[in-house]
Amino acid sequence: MLQEAPIKAKRQLMLASKFKDYAQLLKPNLSFMVVFSSVIGYLLAPHISFDFTEVSLLFIGGVLVTGSANTINQILERYSDKFMKRTALRPMPDNRMGVTEAWGVAVVSGLAGVLTLGLFFNWLSGLLSLISLLIYAFAYTPMKKIHPIAVLIGAIPGALPPLIGWVAATGSLGYGGWILFTIQFFWQFPHFWAIAWVGYEDYLKAGIRMLPSSQGKTRFTGMQCMFYSIVLIPIAVMPRLNAMTGNIGMWVCIGCGLLYFIASLLFFIKNDHKSAKRVMFASFIYLPTVLLALLLDKI
């Protein structure tokens, strides 16, 4: 009995360590924001009221699909991840997990997520989630080391979640779903570029090219951020015109777009670490605020 206690404790420690490794693969924190926008897209659809079971199933399906895409991303970048501080201790670069095991996690998670959306909602939403997974994993991920156009490619699967939520609710690619897609699509460019500017040296070690200029940290990045953020201001009127939200939701969206643009303008003027981080944090605030404002004003 005395010998069994340390053996049991060791097994529990190994299980906890393995669970932590799987969590690092699936990136639940990153998945939450993605799936959150999908749930908002679902609830913004016409004639839909909050149902805990349906929202939970949509959330679970989205987390599984996004987790699969994140896992494949880490499989394909397992060698370059060794060179970056924030990724060096992931399961594969740190040699805590093999490629075969990681592929098993990716396939099981991806299939489970697509089937959850297809069986409990409709197969169009399942198909869109599969398309999103494939573009992110097999187009965006390898392109990051080839050309900055990777940001444009990545913005497509990045903007699909609210459209998937809309389709899950309605069974069709409606105008409202495309409006949400457009908002999230343009939001991503300043978001990605600010992150890439802040982590430029780390990305450079891994051979990842994300900034729009081949010369690196120039004012061109700030100028591009200005362009994509200012587009969000007139786009903010579209949900109101489509009767998805009310006046309050519209004005909150316009205000958030204006603040996002001001942060981008200051980034263009100053072109320094502080102003880049300001755009990054503005992007973190913009999307959840806009989505919640649209939803709450509808309610």
d(CA 63, CA 77) in angstroms, rounded, equals: 21
CA atoms within 13 A on the CB side of 100: 0
pLDDT per residue over 227-285, tens digit each? 999 999 999 999 999 989 999 999 999 999 999 999 999 999 999 999 999 999 999 99
| CA dist., res. 260 & res. 232, Å (int) | 9
| Residue with tokens 């896992």, as numbered in its chain | 71
Question: 266 vs 79, 179, 243, CA distance in Å?
Answer: 36, 28, 34
Domain ranges of the chain: 1-173, 177-299
Two tokens, residue 266: 């200051």
SS3 187: helix
Q: What class has domain 1-173?
A: mainly alpha
Comparing CA positions, the residue from 181, 187, 160 lying closest to residue 280 is 187
Each residue's pLDDT tens digit, 110-149: 999 999 999 999 999 999 999 999 999 999 999 988 888 9
**Strand, coil or helix: 119:** helix
pTM to 2 decimals? Answer: 0.90
Residue 140 DSSP code: I
